[in-house]
């Protein structure tokens, strides 16, 4: 199962982490894994291109782990773009979770500063 954890600070996504494997089909034919990968990496690329900011990215060589951290100190305009793109990613991931909830689980944690 893919575990997705969304960390928020004052309602803003500060970090997300994905770990595990969906195992919803044979290697190379796993639609849940392909969907989650496409949504997450597409969103990362969109943030870096549209918002013009780098993200701290950690990943495992086997594809079973991804952690992305939003840098602090961004201007309000850039942060708003980053948040809009990441919230869009979360909507897409929740759609996958709704239809394939035996293969992906999303949890959120809120920290109020």
Which is the catalytic residue, given 2, 6, 32, 33?
33
Which is the catalytic residue, given 21, 46, 69, 79?
21
- Verify whether residue 20 is a known catalytic residue: no
At residue 87, φ and ψ (nearest 5 deg) are: -65, -35
Handedness of CA 23, 7, 67, 54 (dihedral sign): positive
- Cβ atoms of 9 and 19 within 8 Å: the answer is no
- Verify whether residue 33 is a known catalytic residue: yes
At residue 37, φ and ψ (nearest 5 deg) are: -65, -45
The set of catalytic residues is: 21, 33
């Amino acid at each position: 199962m893919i575990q997705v954890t969304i960390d928020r600070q004052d309602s803003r996504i500060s970090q997300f982490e994905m770990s595990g494997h969906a195992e919803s089909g044979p290697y190379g034919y796993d639609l849940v894994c392909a969907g989650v990968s496409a949504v997450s990496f597409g969103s990362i690329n969109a943030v870096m291109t549209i918002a013009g900011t780098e993200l701290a990215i950690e990943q495992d060589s086997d594809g079973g782990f991804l952690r992305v951290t939003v840098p602090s100190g961004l201007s309000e305009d850039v942060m708003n773009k980053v948040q809009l793109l990441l919230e869009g990613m979360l909507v897409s991931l929740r759609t996958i979770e709704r239809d394939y909830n035996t293969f992906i689980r999303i949890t959120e944690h809120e920290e109020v500063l």
